[in-house]
Structure 1
Amino acid sequence: MTPEGLAFTHAAAFGGNGWPEADFAQYLDDPNVFLHGTDLSFVVLRRAGPEAEVLTLASDPSCQGNGLATRNLERALRILAHQGVQDIFLEVAEDNIPALAIYTRCGFTEISRRPKYYKNGATAICMKIELSVASFPDTAT
């Protein structure tokens, strides 16, 4: 993965409103940040002890709709569970139906809401999943 590739995909996935290359360069160098996938489809999480937070999940529009983002997130959850992460949190805009479907499919549940959290006035849905190695008995990544 490269900062340029990640930034390009993030911008494409979010209608031109992606994060800059510098942010992805910092994430790639941060030992507390876990990136899984490829330049075309990836998930970024930040670890803090037994917890983590999904910072973003993105796929290039040419890769959307084929389950790649779901598989990337499932693999990341499996890896983090085997590394001792117990709880993962995230915030997603209530109008981001595809992302909500992915997170729900992967086992995240709503824990609260933040009204008018995003610039466009959308409410943030706060979600959580509790992980255990028993949830992912195989060690394949």
Structure 2
Amino acid sequence: MSLNFLDFEQPIAELEAKIDSLTAVSRQDEKLDINIDEEVHRLREKSVELTRKIFADLGAWQIAQLARHPQRPYTLDYVRLAFDEFDELAGDRAYADDKAIVGGIARLDGRPVMIIGHQKGRETKEKITP
């Protein structure tokens, strides 16, 4: 089982591994005049279709697994990609700061906005550090 995929995503992982393998073979054997582009294209379409099918019928536990996935984007990931001039605010005026909550002022398309989200850390050590 791949570390990047959850149990219910394994069919997708296997298909992606096959695509990667075929692509690598194609690159290595350019001298042999092997054209597998059509097969790779067909497998990519199949992967998209399989992904849609799997994610259209997720159960509650599978949704929770996705929400808790260690590689899912967190608030600061979105902030770096979508906003300009982010100034993080911290503390609660009672000399405390919750490291799991991130907030601040930024600009979105030139307009000032307020951002609040959670940032719980990716590794166990980050999650339990006070």
Fold match, TM over 0.5? no
Greater strand share, 1 or 2?
A: 1
TM-score bracket, shorter-length normalisation? under 0.3
Greater helix share, 1 or 2?
A: 2
Greater gyration radius: 2
